Amino acid sequence: MRSFYGVTLANGFMLGTAQYPSPAILADAFKRSVASVATVSLRRESGKNRAGQAFWQLIRDLNVHILPNTAGCHSVKEAVTTAHMAREVFNTKWIKLEVIGEEDTLQPDVFGLVEAARILTEDGFQVFPYTTEDLVVADRLLQAGCEVLMPWGAPIGSGLGLNNIFGLRAMRAHFPDVPLVIDAGLGLPSQAAQAMELGFDAVLLNTAVAKAGDPAAMAEAFATAVRAGQLVQAADPIEPRDMAAPSTPVIGKAFLT
């Protein structure tokens, strides 16, 4: 398992904490998923009477790595301010950086993303940028100090899976030594397995589990798929071919005359 800023995770499953029907279901989903990372938005905190403290304690009790995010931020200033607040709350250098640029698709503002990444890395953050599969943007993020890239599979919450297989495969080939995480758009465990089969190091998702009829069962299904995809990648699968190839050798076969 590849390390993320020097941290080697137990597995490649990162799971979000929003939209669950209840705290108990959230906790059960994480238990069955054995996810190694929980992402959480600082916007759950209420300034009045510190109403979010019970939620924060629940997240801490999951006993996983915490990856705060800047979900919902639409400007560099907003994202940077949110990141600083998250560092104080969670006492971590990790930050999943989101700078949203388009409302309908929630596509990242890649120009603002690179700028915010540079500001935060210079301030000691370890940035996990939510980006597209664009290779030029990826290179700019690495130059800005990021050591991890998190390209989307599809728009957040869409469940469409991996929309650009060519682009994602090219990113994996172009940056062989960079930890890559598919972030957003996964709707089925088979899509998570596909991401891992492409050689990605982890997947991050939320809606597909939280909004399922049985979130805990879906979390376990995704965990199994991630593990299967990792095993496939490690096993060096055969290349597809156009023609059939006999699985039973014909050499030495008896022929009746």
Q: Which residues are identified as catalytic?
A: 96
Kindly report the backbone phi and psi dihedral angles of residue 35, in degrees, each rounded to the nearest multiple of 5, phi listed first. -60, 145
| Closest among 186, 200, 192, 198 to 149, alpha carbons compared | 200
Q: Is 127 left (phi over 0), alpha (psi -120 to 50) or beta?
A: beta
Q: Where are the beta strands (DSSP E) in 37-191?
A: 37-41, 65-69, 94-97, 126-131, 150-151, 181-183
Count CB neighbours of 156 within 10 A.
20
CA distance 206 to 187: 9
Q: Where are the beta strands (DSSP E) in the chain?
A: 3-4, 7-8, 13-16, 37-41, 65-69, 94-97, 126-131, 150-151, 181-183, 202-205
